[in-house]
């Protein structure tokens, strides 16, 4: 599945094969998706951004049409995947942006490959930090801030047994729970995501992103303060964005999308493009 004006490609990098979708002309902008999504979550923003940039939307390690190896799901390794992809495409420096799991990889990319990072934007929510250990699993006052799936995805083997062939149930539940405009994510997109995660292999791989949080937190302790410009965006989980970036970047600004849900690229594509273009220039 590719949208008009874009092409699908593959690259052998860091010992695996990554899938990406690219289009447009201009300075390179790399987009990194979240869970449980693929590059397709950017379908609304890609044509708009392609008017100004060469846009590259990546299926991360373990996602979509990319390889799903047994390991390497720490965000430092995943950032290396993207770095080698960028180099294989002939770019020395890129703009990097990511949502959810993609925001974690985007931050790690900037921290580990600053020479390749012109600016970085991340939203909903940011790189794992010590605060993750304090997340509450029980909701309070009706607020949607009890990420039970953080713990569920840590389990070894059980998610595959429960969700194989039934991942659409989880896709629909997450959208209804985390989106304030669930109608923005229609049948075609929901079916696409369900198919992408419906197999034991895909479920195991995506669980790996969560099971690596401990390693991610340990890795981040040694990361330098980011010197390149950083943009932090948020909707329903906006409070986490500045909290996770506190003391981590020298030049950072924040934008809250009031009333937005978790899936900004799909729920608020026009607002997201406006902020990214204003930031990247």
Burial of 92 (0-12, 13-18, 19+ CB in 10 A): exposed
Q: From the candidates 193, 210, 238, 263, give the one annotated as an active-site residue.
A: 210
Q: From the candidates 19, 113, 127, 262, give the one annotated as an active-site residue.
A: 262
Confirm whether 100 is a catalytic residue: yes
What average pLDDT is seen over the chain? 96
What's the pLDDT score for residue 142? 65
Closest CA to 123 of 30, 51, 32, 39: 32
Question: Is 109 domain-assigned?
Answer: yes
What's the pLDDT score for residue 136? 84
Three-class secondary structure of residue 38 per DSSP: coil
Give the structural domain span for 80: 6-130+215-280
Question: Is 65 domain-assigned?
Answer: yes
The first and second tokens of residue 227, run together, are: 């010197």
Q: What is the DSSP string of 120-148?
A: EEEESS-S--GGGGG--SS--TT-S---H
Q: List pLDDT tens digits, range 170-219.
A: 999 999 999 999 999 999 999 999 999 999 999 999 999 999 999 999 99
Question: Is 265 domain-assigned?
Answer: yes
Question: Is 59 domain-assigned?
Answer: yes
Q: What is the pTM of this model?
A: 0.97
Please tell me the chain's helix, strand, coil percentages from 3-state DSSP, rounded to the nearest 5.
45, 20, 40
pLDDT below 50 — which residues of the chain? Answer: none
Question: Is 148 domain-assigned?
Answer: no
CATH assignment at residue 68: 3.40.50.1820
Q: List pLDDT tens digits, range 214-239.
A: 999 999 999 999 999 999 999 999 99
Q: From the candidates 74, 81, 100, 219, give the one annotated as an active-site residue.
A: 100
Confirm whether 210 is a catalytic residue: yes
Q: How many domains does the chain have?
A: 1
The first and second tokens of residue 87, run together, are: 């180099």
Confirm whether 172 is a catalytic residue: no
Question: Is 169 domain-assigned?
Answer: no
């Amino acid at each position: 599945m590719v949208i008009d004006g874009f092409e699908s490609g593959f690259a052998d990098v860091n010992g695996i094969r990554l899938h990406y979708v690219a289009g447009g002309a201009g300075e390179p902008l790399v987009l990194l998706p979240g869970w449980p999504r693929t590059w397709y979550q950017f379908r609304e923003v890609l044509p708009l951004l392609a008017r100004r940039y060469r846009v590259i939307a990546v299926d991360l390690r373990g996602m979509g049409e990319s390889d799903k190896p047994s390991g390497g799901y720490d965000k430092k390794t995943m950032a290396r995947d993207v770095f080698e992809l960028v180099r294989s495409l002939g770019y020395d420096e890129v703009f990097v942006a990511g949502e959810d799991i993609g925001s974690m990889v985007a931050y790690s990319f900037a921290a580990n490959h600053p020479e390749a990072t012109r600016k970085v934007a991340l939203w909903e929510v940011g790189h794992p930090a010590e605060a993750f250990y304090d997340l509450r699993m029980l909701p309070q006052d009706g607020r949607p801030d009890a990420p039970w799936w953080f713990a569920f995805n840590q389990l070894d083997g059980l998610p595959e047994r429960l969700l194989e062939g039934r991942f659409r149930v989880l896709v629909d539940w997450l959208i209804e729970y985390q989106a304030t405009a669930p109608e923005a994510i229609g049948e075609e997109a929901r079916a696409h995501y369900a198919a992408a995660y419906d197999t034991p292999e895909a479920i195991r791989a995506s669980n790996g992103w969560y099971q690596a949080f401990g390693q991610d937190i340990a890795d981040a302790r040694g990361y330098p303060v980011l010197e390149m410009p950083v943009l932090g965006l948020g909707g329903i989980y906006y409070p986490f964005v500045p909290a996770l970036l506190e003391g981590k970047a020298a030049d950072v600004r924040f934008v809250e999308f009031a009333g937005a849900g978790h899936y900004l690229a799909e729920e608020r594509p026009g607002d997201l493009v406006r902020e990214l273009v204003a930031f990247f220039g």
